[in-house]
Structure 1
Amino acid sequence: MMVLLGAVAVMVAMIAYAAGHLTANGLGRLVLLGGLALLPLAVSGAGVAVGVHESSETQFCMGCHEMERYGQSLFVDNPNALAAVHYQKRLISRDSTCFSCHTDYALFGDAKAKLNGLKHVWVHYFGTIPPEPRLYQPYPNYNCLHCHNDARGYLEGGPHRELQAELRSGARSCLTCHDVAHDLEGVKAQNFWLPERQRP
């Protein structure tokens, strides 16, 4: 972010310094006009890029109070809770935990996830927050299979071998067996796992 601000400051300083010379002829005025048009576009584009990156981070998702329990569920001591297992065993990046599982791995999956996120932000500020957040569509197996499809534990895991075709086609949901995505009861009971170095 600081690099971006520095680059903008340098561009503005260069335009200000050269403005007197550039306005002396027609080509210079055209260059100055182009610079004045491109500068806002470049800054806006960079701002969008930074915003998209920042909004993919776990910290961003946990910034709303209605998501607090879901963030705490990453630390629940439950080997059957998907979010906790993936987070605690570092099966996904801790910096983008939410986005890793809640984006569709398709051509426009990231854009779709961002648009859904904007709906959440809209409701947070201007709508009525539902008591329990819901997904906009059933959780697709390909979000799981994106990572697990060729993983040894998945391929050699007992029931997975027999259900490959059903899981890949979506005829059977991964959540049929792995039915605890976020253990909110564990959050309520304060049943948290902490690494040895963080235990009292």
Structure 2
Amino acid sequence: MSGALEITHSAPIPEIFYSEKEEKQFTECTICGKNLADGNELYLIEKAFERKSGLDKPQLVFELACCMDCRQEMHDSLSKESNEKIAAYFEANSRVEERDRELKKHDLIDTDVWLNNCIVKNKAMDEVNEYQIYALCWKDEMVFHQMPFMLCGETIDDIMNLLSNKSLDIINDLTADLIDLPPEFRELFKDKKVLFI
């Protein structure tokens, strides 16, 4: 395995992190097409959901599997100021490392426990209308190392408000490129908050 992360807690990738579009596990980086299933590197999965009135199940807004090279490129494309503000926000408002230690100490490798509450606002998934989930994976395993976690819409709003106009434009352009929408729906999607971690 590449990278310095030592995998001590992992489990098969649960269906919540499968591609809904493909109805199976992600096998390629959504951005560059690199093979993830047979590769020897970590990758991220991000999915965004929204509850719509009249529907029982939250609707998928966005899904992405991203190799570490593309993730680094996305990170580097944001302004230094925006990246510093995001890092400071998480440092001040989340308990990611403490939560990671607590859950591993009790050997809780239950995806629902890790995803149930927003890591910043502590709001439960079934109480919020919008949320995004994140997982760190390797081949067909999900790694329990600060991830997986959930961010509610309120947290995403907080973070988006920290970003420079340049960084917001980059995120909007990237989202438009990655999501296959007819032109008449692109303007509607501009109001959706998609945060790449």
TM category, shorter: under 0.3
* TM-score computed with the length of structure 1 as normaliser: 0.25
Q: Which has the higher strand share?
A: 2
TM-score (norm 2): 0.26
Q: When you count helix as a share of all residues, which structure comes out higher?
A: 1
